[in-house]
Structures are given as structure tokens and as C-alpha cells.
Amino acid sequence: VTETARERNRRGEGTRLRADILAAAAELLEETGSEQDVTLRAVARRVGISAPSIYAHFPDREAIVDAVVDDAFAELKTAITTAADAETLPRQKLRAGCAAYLRFAREQPNRYRLVFELRNPLDADHPGRTIGAVRGETFQHLVDTVQLCIDGGISTSTDAFGDAVAIWAALHGYATLRSGHLGFPWPPYEQTFDRIVDGLAHLTPAASEA
Amino acid sequence: VTETARERNRRGEGTRLRADILAAAAELLEETGSEQDVTLRAVARRVGISAPSIYAHFPDREAIVDAVVDDAFAELKTAITTAADAETLPRQKLRAGCAAYLRFAREQPNRYRLVFELRNPLDADHPGRTIGAVRGETFQHLVDTVQLCIDGGISTSTDAFGDAVAIWAALHGYATLRSGHLGFPWPPYEQTFDRIVDGLAHLTPAASEA
DNA sequence: TGTACATCAGTGAACGCGCGTTCACTGATGTAC
DNA sequence: TGTACATCAGTGAACGCGCGTTCACTGATGTAC
């Protein structure tokens, strides 16, 4: 698979290559589904450069994958908060945020998986790789939204944090199983979504909303 | 890492090596966490044989991993059904089965992950690898147990299948996230378990049970 | 305006490695007579 | 009971491959004077 050679960057535009490398790595990851298949040489081939050129922008192969993960998580956070902020009612904020989460996982299943599964933030082999602040903030956003529902009287929950954990787990499991087991007779998408979000957030029926 | 050489099998006991290979592969998988690290040579090293010896028992490297997956799933199914069958009340059957599922995932997280994530039964590259009958039967066991709860009047659900899907997704998500994100401030184990099972199966409070 | 030159954005060849797989083989084990 | 031999359970060396990484390099681009 030979890619078209790319034009050499002009002076001072060396950072453009960095973005190209990241984009190629993300594509490669999404196509192969395996972090280990995102090889330095494969990335270079896709970008249209020689392999050593990558070392001007990343210290080693791992750093590329780390950067892809950081990018992906930032994108996920933006998708969630943007969707939630567009709504005003607590119930709709919660549902919109969760829907955005699932949409990201559905549209880029392998990139999603990498973020949550392959790159264990507490990987024993990589102690420096800690759970990013972005992750904490994103989860906190879910907790806050559940709390909004409680305060708004549309959730009978008494523990926003505990419910947020259950919702996150259920959404994550649904997203990964659904994209992985394509032959399973999945019920309509909305139905399972409703069961998970409404049920685990202890939402009262929608009709009761002011 | 040199392993102790093993004794040569006596005649007619060639199949014992097959079992040793499988056990070594399963261990290796559990330790490394990556299917791709279960190399033919690494397995051979661990068993204490030369690499080519494996070809007497498996046609290629992939076949070893496939066999590990089949073994693991059979084990998981047995764990679930055994736990559920030991109970008589529908509520306890459901809870015991789900608890056994989570226990398996907790004790052998990487083997569990391989079964549900890495080895997509509908992998486009391996069309012959279909979702085994064992998988269908195991999920059906969950559906049946939820139905038992409905029939026994301790669940207000009207759709055992749909609820089983949600429960499976939530358990799977909880299992994988919890074993992967060790730094997260997880609530007590039982609490999340209760939220997921009782909530998604629409169980009535335990006190109402006859 | 012309030109020497420093710098930048890369390249090409090479290294050692572990891998899956093949091939021809070996030596202990059991069996036929 | 003794022995020739077929079979079984493996082995050791070798292959070609793609990998991450290193090294010395090149040639276009911009700039100082």
C-alpha cells in the first residue's frame, strides 16, 4: 500500500507534520482496532514520509498512541458537554450527554475502546500515565447532571455519585458490547438507552416534569 | 526467562501436552493482557518445549487463542449456572448468577476481556468464527432467570429480554471499567451491584418477597 | 539586487530483535515375532 | 525371553518478515550582508 508522497513543509511549518502523524495514527487505530498495529512504520507510510521523520515530533512509538488517546478523550468531553449545554431541562441535559457519549463510541468504536480499555491510566508498566484531569472533569459533569435532576425533583435518587457510576458502567458496557457483537439480536437502540439512563438515574416518568 | 524443562510424555499421552499448552497460553494471556503477546514462542517457553512442538496440537498460533477463549467461556457458563442452580428463589438465582459473572471477570480480568472484546465472534477477518451456541445459551439463561422473577411477582418488568440486555451491558461495563481503572474512587462493590441488578431487572424491594 | 551560508525538514541504509513457520532429524517407547 | 523395528513425541537450525530505532546525510528555504 503506497500512499501518495506528500509535499515537504515549508520552513516553520514543521508542526503541521505532527498533526498529520496524529491523524494518520488515529485512522490506523480505528481501522485495525489494535493499538499494536499502529506501528511507527505504518503511520509513516500513511502520512507519506519516512519512518525516522516521526522522531522529530514524538520521542517514540508509545508517545504517538498516548497523544491519540488524549485527543480522543478531549473530543469525547467536548461532545458531551456541548450536547448537555444545549439543553436547559435537567432531564434533557442528562439524556443529551449520555447520548453524545454513546454516539462517540458508536462512530469511532476502536478509538473509544482504546481510551477506556487499552490505555489503562494505572498501567503498572507506565506509572507516569495517570488518570488525566480531563477524565475526572468529564465524570464529574455526569455526577453534576444527575444532581441537577435530583435538585429539580425529577430523580428519586439519593446518591448522585453512586448513580453516575452505574450509568457510566452501563453505557460503557452497552457501547462496547454493541459494537463488538454485531450478530446479537440487539433491541432498538432507544429502548436500551432509556432503560439504562432513566432506570439507573431513578428518573420519574417524563409526564411529571414541570 | 527459562522455564524448567518438562519431562517427555510417554507414548499415547501426547494429548497431555495440548492441555499444558492451553494452560500456559491462558496464564500468559492473563499476565500480559494482550492477545498479541501470547506468541507461539512465549507459550512454548513457558511449557518448556520447543516452538515447533506446538504444531502437533494446533495448526497455528490463532488456534491456540481460539481454544483459550472457548475454554474460558465454557468456564464462565459453568460458573454462572452452577451458582444460579444452587439457589431456589428467583431473586437469589438472578443475583447469584450475576455475582458469579462479575466474580469471573474480577478474578481473571484479561481472560474475561479476551472473551468479550478481542475475539469478536463476527470479526470480518474471521468469518468462520461464529457466536458459539454456548454464548447464546448463557445469555438465554439470564433471560429465563429474569422471566422467573417476573412470573414470581418480584419484578415489575414486562420485557425479560430487554432487561437482560441492559443487565448484561451494565455488568460487562462495570467489570471492565472496574478492573481497568484501578485509581477511580469506586463505591463499595455491593452497592453498584445492587443498583445494576435490582434496578435494571425492576425488582421489587426484597421485603415483599413471599 | 546578488550571493554565501545557516537552518530546517526531512531521507536512506543499516542494526539487532522476536516472530511464525518449515524442514529434516533423533532418540526413547512400545510391539510383533 | 530377546530383539528388530515402527512409531511417537518431540528437537535444532534455518528462512524471511516487519518492527523500533540510530546514524550520517541532503537538499530546499530563508536570511545576513
A104 CB neighbour count, 10 Å cutoff: 22
Q: Which nucleotide is nearest to A53 (CA to C1')?
A: C10
Closest by CA to B192, choosing from A165, A198, A176, is A165
pLDDT at B210: 47
* Average pLDDT for A96-112: 97
Residue B9 has pLDDT above 80, yes or no: no
pLDDT at A11: 65
Cβ–Cβ < 8 Å for B41, B51: yes
In angstroms, what separates the C-alpha of A156 from chain B's closest C-alpha? 13
Q: Kindly determine whether the C-beta of residue B36 is less than 7 Å away from any atom of nucleic acid strand D.
A: no
Q: Which nucleotide is nearest to B63 (CA to C1')?
A: C20
Longest dimension (CA), chain B: 63
Instruction: Give the integer Cα–Cα distance in Å for A96 and A87.
Output: 8
Instruction: Give the integer Cα–Cα distance in Å for A71 and A19.
Output: 11
pLDDT at B183: 83
What torsion do the CA atoms of B155, B157, B162, B167 make, to the nearest 10 degrees? -30
Longest dimension (CA), chain A: 63
pLDDT above 70: percentage of residues in chain A: 87
Calculate the angstrom distance between C1' of D33 and CA of A17. Answer: 33
- Nucleic acid strand C: bases within 7 A of protein CB: 7-14, 18-24, 28-30
Would you call A199 an interface residue with chain B, using a CB distance cutoff of 8 Å?
yes
Name the residue closest to D22, CA to C1': A52
Q: Pinpoint the alpha helices (H) of chain B.
A: 14-32, 40-47, 61-85, 90-107, 109-113, 133-151, 160-180, 189-200
Could you read off the pLDDT of A128-160 as tens digits, one per residue? Answer: 455 578 889 999 999 999 999 999 999 999 999
In angstroms, what separates the C-alpha of B135 from chain A's closest C-alpha? 10
Asked if the Cβ–Cβ distance from B196 to A169 is below 8 Å, we say yes
Would you call B117 an interface residue with chain A, using a CB distance cutoff of 8 Å?
yes
Asked if the Cβ–Cβ distance from A180 to B117 is below 8 Å, we say yes
Instruction: Give the integer Cα–Cα distance in Å for A173 and B64.
Output: 27
Residue A1 has pLDDT above 70, yes or no: no
pTM, whole model, 2 decimals? 0.93
Cβ–Cβ < 8 Å for A38, A27: no
